[in-house]
Structure 1
Amino acid sequence: MKQPFNNVKRIFAVALLVTLTSFTLMSYPGAAENKAEQPNQVDASMAGAATAAEKLAGDQADNAAATQESQPAAGKEKSNTTASSSKSAAKTEGANSYARIFPSDDQFTLAAENTRLQLLVHQNSGHFLVKDKRDDNVWRSFPSPEGWKDKENTDTWKKHMQSPVFIKYVEFNVRKDQVKETNVIDQKSTIEQFELTENGFRLTFSMPKIGFIIPIEVNLKDDYVETKVLEEGFKDGKTAEEMKQFEAENKKKKDNDARITGIRLYPFLGSATSEQENGYLFIPDGPGTLVQFKRDRPPNNNFYFERIYGDDLAFSNNNNSFSIRQPVRMPVFGIKSGEQALLAVIDQGAEYANVLAAPSKSMNQYNWATAEFTYRQRFFQPTDKRKLNGFQTFSRARTEGDRSVRYYFLDRGASDYVGMASRFRQFLMEDAGLSPIKTEDDNISLQVHLLGADSRKGFLWDSYEPLTTTTQAEEVVNELTSIGVKKMSIAYSGWQKGGFSENGGHFPVDSGIGGNDGMSHFIDFAHAKGHRVTLDGSSYTFNNSGRDGFRSSRDGLQDLGAVVIQFREHEGKSTLVSPRFMEEVMLKDLAKAKQLGVDGLTLGYGIGAFLNSDFNERYKATRKDARKIQENVFAKTKEQLGSADVTNGNFYALKYVEHVHGLSDENSFDLFLDETVPFAQIALHGLVTYSSWYANVTDNYGTYLLKNIEYGAIPAFMLTHAQSQELIGTRSLFNYYSTYYKDWAEEIAKQYSRFNEALGDVQNEFIAGHRTLEEGVNETEYANGKRIIVNYNAVPYEKDGVTVDAKDFAVLPGGG
């Protein structure tokens, strides 16, 4: 299987050079023009009641008075030094300023309660508090008062932080490509239809000046609060009749036809300053990454903003908006501050959500993270038949549906990334359909990927290059079994007609490697040895052969500008197939795969990894539709063949799969990121097995092995019967520079034995702990008490009677 996303990066090499710059200009709050009026107080009202501005002004006056009364009278206390006096004055000034902007805790009334949590609401602003009965922690839907410094926040950001809703919008009658920003404060929003519900409250923010109506709901559940933007009652800009009325009443001013592009709901829930440095932001970059709270962090524009489940090629194509970071596979983020921590899981509308995380001094004084829901997307609109010239604009149609985020408030004893991952594991089991795995014995299943064949570019025509025939595959498997590899999961790639670089018309198995009969015989042989066999099915994502009745202009995935999306290969190009066309072909081919006796398919790319809208009128599909199509393919594959695997897959695919290949074990190396942590691995271990990329083509083989041991991953190898140099010059296999099985057989057997010792008896155990013992030395603990200490350093680690050799690991069974 091809390494995911390498082709994307080659196609758009030029675009990548400008991605960060264009992304910063588009996404940085405050960079976009904002001409909205900026009142000092919320101007809002409940239906049939006085305006919230009046109420909130009264509340804030009470806050300020209470703050003043709490200060010692002049002359009663003396500071020891001028410095301490100045510091006290600054603190008082900050408290007074905070009290004028945000409501105090005693102004909130109870909305819902259970055995763990209380939800309280401030009806005049729409903000809420969550009080944790277990440890008396208080969570606010606005920035924490601790460490507030008025001078470190601009007036614009004070209003953003005061507002429960942050809005991005575009004015189609002004600049169709320019995003503006506003909030309920600037828009003088009123609160309408406030009501307490069975589990919380519901209200509507009405902004008649700009034409937005945003209904929201907040519900208290067992150990979490769910915030939701509701579709019912949502209004997005003025109607045609309202626009005419506006222009009639404002003859010198034309309505700007404002339409929402993005919304953040309660974006500062859980935010904290860096006054206390014992905290971090958790972001879903790679397996999981921490951004530490740092008091001395220099002001900068570094922040994280990535779309969940990766780019949508139907919008990213031709508009220079591709991210160079790894795609986000998990719809999560988190915040730890001192002894309290929360995990956010983006639930409804995750397909249209982004994760935004900003360390202190990148935008304001707070460390904060939030979900931003996309309602319209920027795209390239061609203006000529060749579709090379055009302009940037936003989609007119709005993506509909409820959008929700669950905020899990963790126990004090679990207030770190391990606790976050453990709670996410519980979510995966209770809400996403995953179940603990059952193992037959204590032998891990080594991941062996075999390359069948590829084509080689010729002067007049291409030549077929067999690399591992089915007969030769039996030889490879037999040798590995004979030297100690007791269990293998074998994925066969390049088996389809034409080999690895040919897409479309997969069956029958190419006769050049043995045909259907040869493959069936190999599968029977592997089963007799106790091994599992899957076929690589990720290549159904593309078609470059025209087989299966495919025509690029008719059956290819199209962007909103009606451009067919194609991927440039090392030699030639392939068309991205419409998801509905792909689904139809795959479901027909499952019966053919079943006749071979195969155990399943290893899927990827457009079946579990890419998530694209399709504007091809024959096969039209939203991003949400595309997810449903992919899940149906996984479900049918599992139902008819017995199992499915996925490569570098999005987490919605995991409930259908037996193994995840290519699970990331490193972050994207942004300069402001501090530490990679195995969040994904902690969440998944014991639910599905997983491996990272191929050991024999990794940059640092020794570190790869240690990282896999630390993360509880099964090693994977890409092998051929042909010698490695025979891959040189093939169309697509130039990345696989060391695949000859005889070069690796003894090493594979050695590492299989070591990994079995470390991980064989904990395959079905949850990871219960992970920590750094000292720099370069990490410990992973399993639920049964087994501990594995990994030493990446060039010198031995010795402590508490435990010795771990340099660049090695030690296993401590049963908590010894």
Structure 2
Amino acid sequence: MKKEKSVRKAEFQAALFRQLKSLIVPFIILAIILIGVLVISFSQGEAEPEEVVRVNGYEGEETEITLENDKLLFSMNSLTTQFSVTMKETGETWTSNPEGAAEDSAALEIEKNKLQSTVLLTYSTQNGVDALLDNYEYSIAKGIYEIETGDGYIKVNYSIGDLEQEYVVPLVMEEDRMEEYLSKMGQRESLMIGEYYKKLDINDLSKSDKAAKDELTARYPSMETTVIYVLRDNVKASIQTKLQQYFEEAGYTYEEYVEDKEKDKQEKVSEKSVFNVSVIYRLDGDDLIVEVPFDDLEYKEDYPIYYLSVLPYFGASGTTDEGFLFVPEGGGALIEFNNGKTSQNSYYSNVYGWDMGQDRDAVVHDTRTYFNVFGESKNDSSFICMLEDGVPYASIQADISGRSHSYNYVNAVYSVLHREQYDVSDRSTQSMFVYEDGTAEGEGIVQRYSFIDSGDYVDMAEDYRSYLKDKYGDYLTVNDDTETPVALEIIGAVDKVKQVFGVPVSSPLELTTYKEAQEMVEELYGEGLSNMSVKLSGWMNGGVQQKMLDSVNLISDLGSKKDLQNMIDSAEEKGIAVYLNGITNYAMDSGITDGFFVYTDAAKFVSKESAKLNVYDTVTYEKAEEDRDPFYLLKADLVYEMMDNLADAANGYHAGVSFSDIGYELSSDFYQKDPTSRQMAMEEQAEKLKSLDDNGTDIMINMGNDYAVAYADMVTNMDLEGTEYSIIDKKIPFYQLAIHGYVNYTGEALNLTQNTQNELLNSAEYGAGLAFTFMKESAFELQNTLYTEYFGADYSAWHDEMLEIYTRYNEELGHTFNQKMVGHEYVTSELTCTIYEDGTKVYVNYSYDELQADDGTVVPARDYVVVR
């Protein structure tokens, strides 16, 4: 029996040992994990405090706050922060918000609130859910704003958010005052106050209050000298409503509330999303300056500010007003008040087009405006608003009455914090968004409002001309041209895939040699085209779709350096400027052997991915990844280096420099260690162009963004007419009225555009020079290439028609290119008249019928007539 017990005991001990042995490894692993957790916890230290956004509060009485100079009177109502601006010479007044907006029967409550706002703010979340807040409902009506005044400015600090209502009940009150109020109340009211107020006597504190004595005295300093009552935290709104009623009936005043509130030193914060936005107003001569400093923006990291619009309804006009909204579509466009086109989309366009530093999956319509103005004409008075700081982040939007409310309006909306979308995983359909870390230091929004004693868009354009001349000074001077400027682009080479020993290889396809380009220019000069600006494209680094400009290498198939120099020298002898064209923003078909390394040289999206770009299919609107190779946006500092390399190469040949993208495209770089905002990119581009101009380099650009045009000798491919938005009623040459005679510009090449006659008519109306794109080889050479846009560039096929177009145009309009454009009008809906300083009138008939002007001039169908 003892033996059996001994055996069982031994077996038990052995089993126990085996069990303990099997637990050793898990125990060791668990210990390591626990130690790791402790190490991480201690290394992290204290948890970061929750973000706090200060909440402003207006505590003053209703009053009028003014700014005034000899031209303008600015008057703000302190209880609404809405204001008016009066032109002192005429008495004409413009208001920040439409009068009667609160009673607009055509508007929903949310639209009424927006109409009474001076700021609209859209914030977002990491899931990409956007929400719009207006600062009327979420700031002004709640009284959560502050007004500062100083030498020549008024600053309004708005806290915008869905915050709890402020109740006029004492937060802190001395014992003797509280007993006095309690004596005026009934027993029920006194009991409720006793329940929701806490008595603090520094000599008789509870155990928990003694432990928190330092915190209490810091929050309520007065308790060190007297006994006080404090409102308990987290009292429900319904209870505070009743308490407010009881104290009000007992004689408690708002002035006492303000004093008592100051006795609670705890910073007042909101647990909900709250945004602080400051708006500054100044007067500058005839102009009102409105600023929103980005450095003053406050928001929680989880709720980034996505869009911001300041004074969204400034000057908004009602159904009984007469006038139009001006938008910078093409050269300019008008939207008549109350035009009834509510079934059409409202107007929206990005200033300077899309930011290539932001990715996109598809492109249906790429909106673009290339100058920084919108405006309004109402009842024989008008204003224009020039977007200054922050303009690269802006989009212009406009709409008519009848869609959401009874008012016509135009404004700018700004992208503040940019974002990118990425997929969480292949197993989830959920998407997340990543946002840039913050706005660039020192940046912000500046809008300049200029007021004009005229409702004529020509006078508005003249005011803009004065603005540009003041801004750019001697960089905008009247030129001395007496003949029509012609931009002649010559295509040297494109790339084409060829089979080499059965292997597809991309190599340059010769279209025009340097010698042939020289012969072409000499022939046209001999035929009367003396005011030519020659752009040589596809002359180096592989062709039109050039490799990165880390170095400049001529295409041997086109000729030698001497051949190129001879071509340039020949043109220079005849007074013809030659511009060597290049791409500086992108790395096209480039690799390490070309000096491009994607991980160090490509710009970054917000997602931290390299800025890989695509051509988009015109049928599916999606990325054409199968047919066209992707390319990369270069880092900002490399862009400027490429500009220098191209300019140095051009200077080496004593030629001008032509930028395909500078002055046309404008991109951010979200490289985390050294980001470049779009505002910074604009300023740097302008400074580079200015430096080249100062050094005597001739400059040619495309499109002509307003920050670049003053430094350019020739602007090509200017979008004269713009997009056919259905809501627009008239197209006008607003931008051209401002710059004609100071800068030469052309529309698209007449032999490549989809409608040659329409582009020619636009050129005549808008005071543009003529543009052509040619190559020596036949268009058949372009078969099996991706360059179908040059099918109309055959020089021999177009030579005679070009001469015919040019000869007539130059004979009739050549004398106008050193003059300011001083007038423009619609004689009929299809017949326009442009007027120059010397009285020359240019009638343009867009209809398919002959039309007659008021002075008896007959204009044939689809033609122009010049009257001198």
Which TM-score tier does this pair reach, normalised by the shorter chain? 0.7 to 0.9
What does residue range 310-349 of structure 1 map to in structure 2 within 5 Å? 310-315=353-358, 317-318=359-360, 324-349=365-390
Contact preservation (8 Å) 1:342, 1:407: yes
For 1:792, the equivalent position in structure 2 comes to 846
Q: Any conservation in 1 of the 2:721–2:762 contact (CA below 8 Å)?
A: no
Paired with 2:98 and 2:554, the residues of 1 have a C-alpha distance of 60
User: How far apart are the structure 1 equivalents of 2:567 and 2:340?
Assistant: 62
Q: Please show how residues 747-758 of structure 1 align to structure 2 within 5 Å.
A: 747-758=801-812
Aligned partner (choices 731, 745, 756) of residue 690 of structure 1: 745
> 1:235 aligns to what SS in structure 2?
coil
Over 3 Å counting, the alpha-carbon distance change for 1:148 and 1:205 in structure 2 is closer
Task: Write the distance in 1 (CA, Å) between the matches of 2:660 and 2:497.
Answer: 26
1:191, 1:203 within 8 Å by CA — same for their partners in 2? no
- Measured in 2, the distance between the counterparts of 1:161 and 1:44 equals 22
1:601 corresponds to: 657
Match of 1:671 in 2: 726
Q: Which amino acid aligns with 1:456?
A: K
Q: What is the letter of the counterpart of residue 653 of structure 2?
A: L
Distance 1:381 1:768, change over 3 A: same
> Are the structure 2 counterparts of residues 232 and 737 from structure 1 closer, same or farther at C-alpha, using a change threshold of 3 Å?
closer
One-letter amino acid of the counterpart of residue 229, structure 1: V
Q: Write out aligned runs for 1:207-286 (5 A).
A: 207=160, 209=270, 210-231=273-294, 233-237=296-300, 257-276=302-321, 278-286=322-330
1:462 and 1:260, CA in 2 relative to 1: closer, same or farther beyond 3 A?
A: closer
- 8 Å CA contact 1:450–1:718 kept in 2: the answer is yes
- 1:457 shift after superposition: 1.5
For the pair 1:360 / 2:407, whether they are aligned, the reply is: no
Q: In the alignment, which residue of structure 2 is the partner of 1:529?
A: 574
Q: CA separation in 1, counterparts of 2:102 and 2:138?
A: 22
Distance apart, 1:294 and its partner CA: 2.3
One-letter code aligned to 1:411: D
Change (3 A) 1:426 1:542: farther
Which of 603, 607, 615 is the aligned partner of 2:670?
615
Q: 1:382 to 1:220 in 2, by over 3 A?
A: same
Kept in 2, the 8 Å contact 1:274–1:295? The answer is no
Counterpart in the other structure of 1:142:
97
Q: What's 1:26 paired with? A: none
CA gap 1:267/1:742 in 2 versus in 1, 3 angstroms:
same
Amino acid at match of 1:294: N
CA distance in 2, matches of 1:417, 1:387: 54
Alpha-carbon distance between aligned partners in 1 of 2:69 and 2:142, rounded to the nearest angstrom: 28
1:758–1:788 CA contact under 8 A, matched in 2: no
- Closer, same or farther: CA 590–670 of 1 in aligned 2, 3 Å: closer
Select 2:449's aligned residue among 384, 401, 407: 407
* Equivalent residue number for residue 113 of structure 1: 69
Is structure 2 residue 520 aligned with structure 1 residue 508?
Answer: no
After superposition, give the CA deviation of every residue in 1:580-638 in whole Å (9 maximum; x if it has no partner). 1122233244333212111x211132x22222211235753221222233224323433
> What is the correspondence of 1:48-127 to structure 2 with a 5 Å cutoff?
49-50=60-61, 55=62, 108=64, 110-114=66-70, 116-127=71-82
Residue 777 of structure 1 pairs with residue 811 of structure 2: no
Per-residue CA deviations over 1:698-751 (Å, capped at 9, x if unaligned) read: 2222222121111100010000111222223234x2111111212222222222
Does the aligned pair in 2 maintain the 1:348–1:405 contact within 8 Å?
Answer: yes
SS class of match (2:495): strand
**Equivalent position of 1:659 in the other structure:** 714
Deviations 1:166-221 (A, max 9, x none): 2211245xx44433434242245536553444434223223454432222211122
Residues 69, 285 of structure 2: 8 Å contact kept = no
Cα distance in 1, alignment partners of residues 326 and 595 from structure 2: 47
Shift of 1:274: 2.7
Aligned length: 684
Quick check: 519-528 or 749-758, which moved more? Answer: 749-758
Between 1:636-645 and 1:480-489, the stretch displaced more is 636-645
Q: Equivalent residue for 1:304?
A: 347
Cα separation, 1, equivalents of 2:759 and 2:509: 30
2:154 maps to which of 201, 226, 230: 201
Q: Deviations over 1:741-796 (max 9, x none)?
A: 12222222222222223332221222111101123211001123221112233333
CA distance in 1: counterparts of 2:136 and 2:361, whole angstroms? 31
Taking a change above 3 Å as real, the CA distance of residues 581 and 751 of structure 1, as seen in their structure-2 partners, is same
List runs of 5+ in structure 2 lacking aligned partners: 1-54, 161-268, 616-626
Counterpart of 1:125, as a letter, is T
Quote the offset at 1:275 in angstroms. 2.5
Question: How far apart are the structure 1 equivalents of 2:689 and 2:822?
Answer: 30
Report the Cα distance in structure 1 between the residues aligned to 2:351 and 2:712, rounded to whole angstroms.
20
Whole-Å Cα distance in 1 between the matches of residues 763 and 112 of structure 2?
45
Instruction: Give the conservation status (yes or no) of the 8 Å contact 1:280–1:290.
Output: yes
Q: Aligned in 2, Cα 1:383/1:609: closer, same or farther, shift over 3 Å?
A: farther
Q: Which stretches in structure 1 are left out of the alignment for 5+ residues? A: 1-42, 56-106, 239-256
Matching residue within 536, 558, 561 for 2:607: 561
Distance 1:126 1:393, change over 3 A: same
For residues 431-470 of structure 1, what are the structure 2 equivalents within 5 Å? Answer: 431-433=471-473, 435-459=475-499, 460=503, 461-470=505-514
Distance in 2 between residues matched to 1:324 and 1:495, nearest whole Å: 31
Equivalent residue of 1:481, what SS?
helix
Distance in 1 (CA, whole Å) between partners of 2:720 and 2:83 is 37
Aligned residue for 1:635? 690
**SS of match in other structure, 2:827:** strand
1:480 and 2:524 are equivalent in the alignment: yes
One-letter amino acid of the counterpart of residue 675, structure 1: K
Report SS of the residue matched to 1:458: strand
Shift in alpha-carbon separation, 1:619–1:266, aligned structure 2, 3 A: closer
- Equivalent position of 2:680 in the other structure: 625
In the alignment, the residues of structure 1 paired with residue 428 and residue 370 of structure 2 have an alpha-carbon distance, to the nearest angstrom, of 32
Q: Which of 349, 371, 375 lines up with 2:412 in the alignment?
A: 371
Measured on the aligned residues, the alpha-carbon RMSD in Å equals: 2.8
Deviations 1:668-690 (A, max 9, x none): 22222222211121122122111
Over the matched positions of the two proteins, sequence identity in percent amounts to 25
How far apart are the structure 2 equivalents of 1:655 and 1:329? 13
Deviation at 1:226, TM superposition (A): 1.2
Q: Find the counterpart in structure 2 of residue 159 from structure 1.
A: 113
For residues 510 and 429 of structure 2, the distance between their equivalents in structure 1, rounded to whole angstroms, comes to 39
Seen in structure 2, the aligned counterparts of structure 1 residues 618 and 183 have a Cα distance that, compared at 3 Å, is closer
Cα distance, 1:314–1:507 mapped onto 2, change above 3 Å? closer
Structure label with greater radius of gyration: 2
Change (3 A) 1:541 1:171: closer
* Residues 1:542 and 2:542 aligned together: no
Task: Compute the displacement of 1:354 (Å).
Answer: 2.1
The separation in 2 between residues aligned to 1:650 and 1:323, in whole angstroms, is 23
Contact 2:481–2:817 (CA under 8 A) maintained in structure 1: no
Q: 1:663–1:690: 8 Å Cα contact kept in structure 2?
A: yes
**Cα distance, 1:379–1:177 mapped onto 2, change above 3 Å:** farther
Question: What amino acid maps onto 2:308 in structure 1?
Answer: I
